[in-house]
Amino acid sequence: MERVHIFDTTLRDGEQSPGFSMTVPEKLRLARQLSELGVDVIEGGFPIASKGDLDAVREIAKEVKESRVAALSRARQQDVDAALEAIAPARFPRLHIFLATSDLHLHHKLRLSRDEALEAIRSMVAYGRNHCPEVEFSAEDASRSDINFLCQAVETAIRAGATVINLPDTVGYAVPEEYAAMFTRVKEHLGDPLGITYSAHCHNDLGLAVANSLAAIRAGVRQVECTINGIGERAGNASLEEIVVALAVRQSSFGVSTGVRLEKIYASSRLLSEVTGVHVPPNKAVVGSNAFAHEAGIHQDGILKNPLTYEILPPEAVGVPARQLVVGKHSGRNALRASLKELGYEPTDEELAECYRQVIALADEAKHVRQRDLLAIAHQVIRRKSFAGLPRDASAAS
């Protein structure tokens, strides 16, 4: 089975999102977790941006030995030199050079002609390859680039020594079929040369980052660039946890695997939230607090009989401690009985009916039924007859 390499850019592209800035020790702490998670590449930062970023990448490069350590660089020698300095201690260093290829970026942002852009790509990739065994080239804004010029740029980068070609959907503009077709067209133009890995890097401006990444994989892409919790510029990047879980759950459909340890996903998500102080929405796929929580009575009944009825994988598979059967106004009696049993109560049918009545009444009024509320109701209902001197099973006589 072919392997899709996971390139994690939480510490670089993810950190660029407002409110997600990290210190060197925080980046190092997260890099250790990412290595434990089993990602193939950790992009530690953008060294030319600040001394802190350079130091962070360098410290990660010193410590992380299982994953590749990458540093981002514009196609400028000053940038490349800073990136090379940062990744010098790495066991498996990768230099990541980018230059925009869309006319919009070339004309309005960079003030470069197409010929000047091609020369910058050629010279800087060649320079980088002379100093680093692995160079990745990214064609920024690839999804809005003229396809013929994009093919020229990729061909130039490969001839200069790049072995990983990243074609980003930088602004989240693409839709899945277009994004896949772009890779197909580039590969057809180049003849899909041996030793070249194509990479997808998608943003979520239209909510399609994961869908676009999966479409790229179907088109033969074997590296995806993503972040924990989907953090990143604007609406974020493709979510690492969503991509790898989709590939695992639908492995028979995609026919590929990753090296990510699924059971480490939840811990990685929670560590990022702890470091940044930004929590994921409760309905976030895979790692949200509601991802394995069930309140509807029909769902709860199905889960109690066979979890596969409403869960496509068990929560433990991604490191979530346990599913939750939420007690609320939509809950069913079977779920309430299971919740009471977990609290140490074995209600009779009548007691269950009374607890259920009180729970529904409370939920209608307060919206949320907390565990302490359930405990109070159970304590009152299930013990009430004992106080009256009646046996618990004497409900008919009473």
CA distance 214 to 245: 11
Instruction: Please tell me whether residues 97 and 198 are part of one structural domain.
Output: yes
What tens digit of pLDDT does each residue of 39-86 get?
A: 999 999 999 999 999 999 999 999 999 999 999 999 999 999 999 999
Q: What is the pLDDT of residue 325?
A: 74
Tell me what pLDDT residue 368 has. 75
pLDDT of residue 356: 87
End residue of a domain, out of 242, 276, 310:
276
The fraction of the chain above a pLDDT of 90, given in percent, is 75
Pairing assessment for the beta strands 68-74 and 293-294 based on DSSP bridges = unpaired
DSSP string, 307-354: GGGT-SS-GGGGT----EE--STT--HHHHHHHHHHTT----HHHHHH
Residue 321 has pLDDT above 60, yes or no: yes
Most trustworthy range by pLDDT among 15-29, 98-112, 302-316, 331-345: 98-112
Cβ-count burial 22-56 (b if 16+ within 10 Å, e if not): bebebbbebbebbbebbbbbbbbbbbbeeeebbbb
- pLDDT-derived band at 253 (thresholds 50, 70, 90) equals very high
Mean pLDDT of 330-356: 88
**392 is a domain residue:** no
CA-based torsion, 274, 275, 278, 279: positive or negative: negative
CATH of the domain at 78: 3.20.20.70
Residues 25 and 128 in one domain: yes
Pick from 155, 94, 79, 170: nearest CA to 121: 155
- CA separation (Å) from 200 to 226, 254, 269, 328, 396? 9, 16, 22, 42, 68
Task: Render pLDDT for 154-209 as a digit per residue (tens, 0 to 9).
Answer: 999 999 999 999 999 999 999 999 999 999 999 999 998 889 999 999 999 999 99
Who's near 7: CB < 8 A, 6+ residues apart?
39, 40, 41, 43, 70, 199, 201, 223, 224, 225, 226
pLDDT, position 91: 98
Rounded Cα–Cα distance for residues 346 and 308 (Å): 26
Is the pLDDT reported for residue 387 higher than 80? no
Sign of the CA dihedral with 260 first, then 263, 266, and 268 last: negative
Residue 286 domain flag: no
The answer to whether residue 244 sits within a structural domain is yes
- Are residue 217 and residue 78 in the same domain, yes or no? yes
pLDDT-derived band at 395 (thresholds 50, 70, 90) equals very low
* Domain end marker among 213, 246, 276: 276
Confidence at 388, pLDDT banded by 50, 70, 90? very low
pLDDT value at 88 more than 60: yes
Show the domain range for 156: 2-276
Please tell me the least confidently modeled range out of 101-105, 204-208, 321-325. Answer: 321-325
User: How much is the mean pLDDT over the chain?
Assistant: 93
* Helices (H), ranges, 95-254: 103-105, 114-131, 147-160, 176-190, 209-218, 240-249, 251-254
Helices of type H across 229-284 = 240-249, 251-254, 265-276
Percent of the chain with pLDDT over 70: 96
Residue 38: what pLDDT? Answer: 98
Pair (219, 246) in one structural domain: yes
Torsion of CA 148, 151, 156, 161, to 10 degrees: 180
Residue 89's pLDDT band (boundaries 50, 70, 90)? very high
Domain membership of residue 397 (yes or no) is no
Q: Are residues 225 and 322 in the same domain?
A: no
Dihedral in degrees, nearest 10, Cα atoms 275, 21, 198, 269 = 20
Which contiguous run of DSSP H or E holds residue 299?
helix 297-305
Q: What is the pTM of this model?
A: 0.89
**Measured CA distances, 194 to 62, 167, 191 (Å):** 31, 18, 9
Number of structural domains (the chain) is: 2
Q: Which H/E stretch holds residue 283?
A: none
Give the model's pLDDT for residue 384.
57
Whole-number pLDDT of residue 294: 81
Which of 309-313, 316-320, 378-382 is predicted with the least confidence, judged by mean pLDDT? 378-382
- Please check whether residues 303 and 238 belong to one and the same domain: no
Higher pLDDT, 242 or 374: 242
Find, among 342, 34, 346, 68, the residue nearest to 197 by Cα: 68
> Do residues 174 and 240 share a domain?
yes
Tokens linked to 140: 């920024």
Q: Is 195 exposed, middle or buried (0-12, 13-18, 19+ CB in 10 A)?
A: exposed
Same structural domain, 254 and 366 = no
Whether 252 and 302 map to the same domain: the answer is no
Q: Contact, 165 vs 157, CB < 8 A?
A: yes
Selection from 329-333, 366-370, 381-385 with the highest mean pLDDT: 329-333
Domain annotation covers residue 182: yes
Assess whether pLDDT exceeds 90 at residue 291: yes
Q: What is residue 397's predicted lDDT score, i.e. its pLDDT?
A: 38
| Residue 284 domain flag | no
Decide which of 44 and 387 is more confident: 44
Cβ 243 vs Cβ 210: under 8 Å: yes
Nearest-5° Cα angle at 85, 83 to 87: 70
Q: Are residues 63 and 177 in the same domain?
A: yes
383 in the same domain as 265: no
Does residue 236 lie in a domain region? Answer: yes
- Residue 341 or residue 239, greater confidence: 239
**The pLDDT of residue 95 is above 90:** yes
48 shares its domain with 173: yes
In a domain, 396, yes or no: no
